[in-house]
Amino acid sequence: MNTILDKLRGIYDSFYNAIVPEQRYTAYIEGLKITLIISLFAVLLGVAIGVVVAVIKVCGAHTRNVLMRILGKICDLYITVIRGTPLMVQLLIIYNLIFTSRDTNPILVGTVCFGINSGAYVAEIVRAGINAVDIGQMEAGRSLGFNWLQTMWYIVLPQAIKNILPALGNEFIVLVKETSVASVIAVNDLTKNAQYIGSRTWDLIPPLVIAAAIYLVIVVALSKLLGIFERRLAKGDRH
């Protein structure tokens, strides 16, 4: 009996040490802020890149316009390279090669890199979504006098986005968790700060468990949010 109480006491102490002394909880909050900032802007960048790349690829596949075909090939190359190389390697290359100056902001580098990485995956998701929209929708839009891009924007993409929302949500969730890799370029995100606290207290597990719990809360909240969004978009569906 006493041994169990001692164990519980020990666990309590180590979590207490991981949170309270030296106002260590502020490190989690600061790290969380940076994780959220990187995630948010990387998602926005990723969706922007993804939609543009997907539209160019779909257009390139249907047109005889040489310029669009070349752009389509460039987008193919981008997707192949990004999906074919590890994220951490991409992060290290961009950090060390492209942003070499001393005052490089690692948070900015992280955001750009995660955005570029996510864009490739989002592009393939969006492209599948566009191709799943009935060809008659494009024809109906064109027959009213909309040009290709207008039809894509007003008519095809809204339907495509609705169809791919679950896959897109999954990509967001993956992205939030992948930002933990940013610690390799000295970004003080949630994971990095948790490791730092662990090195101070000589007890690594409690801060990492706390970080894991925080990630879990973010992901569950994000899932709920996406669920609400999905239901609102489904208003035009069968009743």
Partner 1 sequence: MIVTKQLKKSFGDHEVLKGIDQHIEQGEKVVVIGPSGSGKSTFLRCLNLLEEPTGGEIWFEGVNITDKHNDINRMRQKMGMVFQQFNLFPHLSVLENITLAPIKLKKTAKDAAADRAMELLKRIGLEEKASAFPNQLSGGQKQRIAIVRALAMDPDVMLFDEPTSALDPEMVGEVLELMRELANEGMTMVVVTHEMGFAREVANRVLFIDDGIVKEENSPDQFFGHPKDPRLQEFLSKVL
Complex with partner 1: residue 84 or 236, whichever CB lies closer: 236
Q: How far apart are CA 106 and CA 119, in angstroms?
A: 19
User: Token digits for 234?
Assistant: 């489904």
Complex with partner 1: residue 142 or 177, whichever CB lies closer: 142
Residue 150 contacts partner 1 per CB under 8 A = yes
Q: Taking CB under 8 A as the criterion, which residues in 90-149 touch partner 1? A: 134, 136-137, 139-147
Complex with partner 1: residue 146 or 196, whichever CB lies closer: 146
Residue 68 contacts partner 1 per CB under 8 A = no
Q: How far is the CB of 110 from partner 1 (least distance, A)?
A: 35
CA of 151: how far to CAs of 15, 104, 132, 138, 162, in Å?
56, 42, 15, 6, 16
Query: Which residue matches tokens 């666990």?
Result: 11
Sole binder of partner 1 in the list 101, 102, 232, 237 (CB under 8 A): 237
- Interacting residues of 157 by C-beta distance below 8 A, sequence separation 6+: 51, 55, 130
Helix count (H) and strand count (E) of the chain?
10, 0
Residue 200 contacts partner 1 per CB under 8 A = no
The count of residues interacting with partner 1 (CB under 8 A) is 23
Residue 74 contacts partner 1 per CB under 8 A = no
Q: How far apart are CA 195 and CA 210, in angstroms?
A: 11
Q: Compute the C-alpha angle 215/218/221, nearest 5°.
A: 145
Residue 155 contacts partner 1 per CB under 8 A = yes
Residue 162 contacts partner 1 per CB under 8 A = yes
Q: Provide the binding-site residues for partner 1, judged by CB under 8 A.
A: 134, 136-137, 139-147, 150, 154-155, 158-159, 162, 235-239
